[in-house]
Amino acid sequence: MNDANTPNTPSPTPEEKPEKPVRSWKLKPVHVRMIRAGIAAAALTGAVLYSTQTPHTAHPSATGSPAATATAPAHSSPTSTHGSPSPTTVPPKSTAPAGTAKKKSTTQTITLNNSTVTIQPSSSASSQLMGDMLLYGLIIGVGYLFFRSMKKRQTSLVPKSNHDPLSTRPATRFSDVAGQDEAVKDVQEIVEMLKNPERFTRVGAKVPRGVLLYGPPGTGKTLLARAVAGESDATFFSISASSFEEMLVGLGASRVRALFAKAKTMAPAIIFIDEVDSVGQRRSGHALSSNTENQTLNQFLSELDGLEGRDNVIVIASTNRPEVLDEAFLRPGRFDRKIAVTLPDIEGRRQILQIHSKGKPLADNVDLESIARRTPGMSGADLENILNEAALLAGRAGTATISQANIDEAYMRVVAGAERKLEMTPEERETIAYHEGGHALVAKLQGDGKIVESVTIIPRGQALGLTSIVPERDQVLLSKKQLLNELAHLFGGRAAEEMFLGDDAITTGASNDLERMTQVAENMVRRYAMTKLAPRAYPSGDGRGPALDDPGRVAGEVDQLVTEAAERARKLLTENRDVLDAIAKSLMEKETITGDELAGIVESMVSKRAAPAVPAPPPSPAPKGAELG
């Protein structure tokens, strides 16, 4: 029952949904410009079409038809000189009342040979005209807006304010750069030149215009350039060389000019161009290339030559491929300094790990020295990725610190990929165990400065198993003996399969090992001259050198190296078959064994084999009364 003071309004039912608010659509300035351009273009096109198109059609009618408005008398039809009748035009009679203005009639009547023809406007021509006007107007309007937007893109290169991310004042210092002591020493002079250029110009020295940083990816070239800007308190312009190139010819050169002009107004400044080989590579004679890439390179070199010492602007470029740069790009007076940024050594890797471990709670059992020792050939970016992956693993597990197990798993993820769950039979697992055990045992028995870090039969990435072998220290040279030992341990997996399964049951698991063996052997023959052939290089004929004169001789030497390595691996495994069985058994039980566990298995089996056999006890003498007399 409702109260008297309460309005009798129905209560909402569950099925009723609240009404959605109506959105108002407002024309944007670009839409208004598009409409205006379309209307103007339509009007212009319509006027042109109207002036060139015939607007009337003729409709004949018979004599005496009601459509005829007038008929000429017979006696008034004049004849031509040839006797043929000439047409007579009779204007229509006006029916407008007196005192009103007469409108000009658009209808005409022509009488010819007792026939009357009435000419009047056609409505179909008008509709055709309107359709053409709208179509052409729309096309011209859209084209006008497209070219106008492209013109705006050409003029927008550099930031409109100093707060744009392109120009910054980085806070990076040389203390943030680890593992590149030699490169830091080379660029410290650049800092002094930017801070106090008069100190050098006073004695006649010229401030270098450009510095080229080259080296493998991930070694810290961009970080080093930012550190130079931070130490010298200079404005840092960072841009990728690929952003200079666009579809329109001349846009790259325009961007180069604008960039250098902006840097001169904000001196002291550093222009850092990443991946400069995109515009600085050797010029070709291709027509399209000469119109775009060459024009951008020429403008870049022109702006670089125009830099003076008083401008206080230095260009730092980085590349991973210095061999493809144009000779004009590298000549003295342009990029005077060429600084190599190489992969860090073991001490550099330890310093990089310490820098990237800041802010990450490491457990007490984490040993950065061991991580640096097992990661030869890795760049600073790779090491940062390992620590970040370890932090992610610790976060997923919900632990408060990053343990050594997290770092070990992160290392394996970076090197080989994440673990995969595959359905395998016990026979397949045992085959993989013998295969990886053969790799590990041959490498362990040969030694030669190699350490077996771990052996696993857990599938990772594309591999069904993995044997991690690292050098004891960083090596800059490899001997022939070391390469031969590498061939032997690469074949150790296939040799173990032959011993365990037999020649007829070997598997496809050694495909990658055989490819790597062939590559190492070919390098020994073609590049290093480590065979009985003449001591010279034997190019492979892939375009990087002269064609190979005698491929059969090289193939024979490669076959001999691979065959000798295979025999050496088979011999080592045959002599230590009991050790191989013990390693495979341990892998079947644990799936992963460390280098220390592998060393323990090998030492225990070898010691058992070397222990002297216990002699049998001598027979006890017979009792004295037992002799026969």
Which residues are marked as active site?
436
Cα separation, 586 vs 593, whole angstroms? 8
SS (H, E, C) 137-192: HHHHHHHHHHHHHHHHHHHCCCCCCCCCCCEECCCCCHHHCCCCHHHHHHHHHHHH
Tokens 């991580």 — which residue?
A: 371
* Secondary structure E strands in 530-614: 592-594
Cα–Cα dist 190/611, whole Å: 68
Question: In the block, which residue shows the tokens 């937007």?
Answer: 149
For residue 546 the two structure tokens come to: 């002269």
CA distances, 22 to each of 19, 25, 410, 514, 519 (Å): 9, 10, 53, 70, 70
Separation of alpha carbons 621 and 625, rounded Å? 12
Strand-pairing partners, residue 316, are 211, 272
Type of residue at 158: V
What does the H/E/C string look like for 274-290? Answer: ECCHHHHECCCCCHHHH
Distance CA 337, CA 333 (A): 10
For residue 88, give the DSSP letter.
Answer: E
DSSP designation for 291: H
In terms of residues, how long is the chain? 629
Q: 556: number of CA atoms within 13 Å, CB side?
A: 6
Question: Is the peptide bond preceding residue 268 cis, with omega within 30 degrees of 0?
Answer: yes
Structure tokens, 481: 């003996």
User: What pairs with residue 58 in β-bridges?
Assistant: 119
Task: Output the CA torsion 176→182→183→187 (10° steps).
Answer: 90
User: How far apart are alpha carbons 388 and 441 in whole angstroms?
Assistant: 33
DSSP 533-582: S-SS----SSSSSSPPS-HHHHHHHHHHHHHHHHHHHHHHHHHTHHHHHH
Place of tokens 């205006």: 36
Q: Any idea what the Cα angle at residue 488 is, between residues 482 and 491, rounded to 5°?
A: 145
Give 59's strand partners.
118
Asked if 131 contacts 67 with a C-beta cutoff of 8 angstroms, the reply is: no
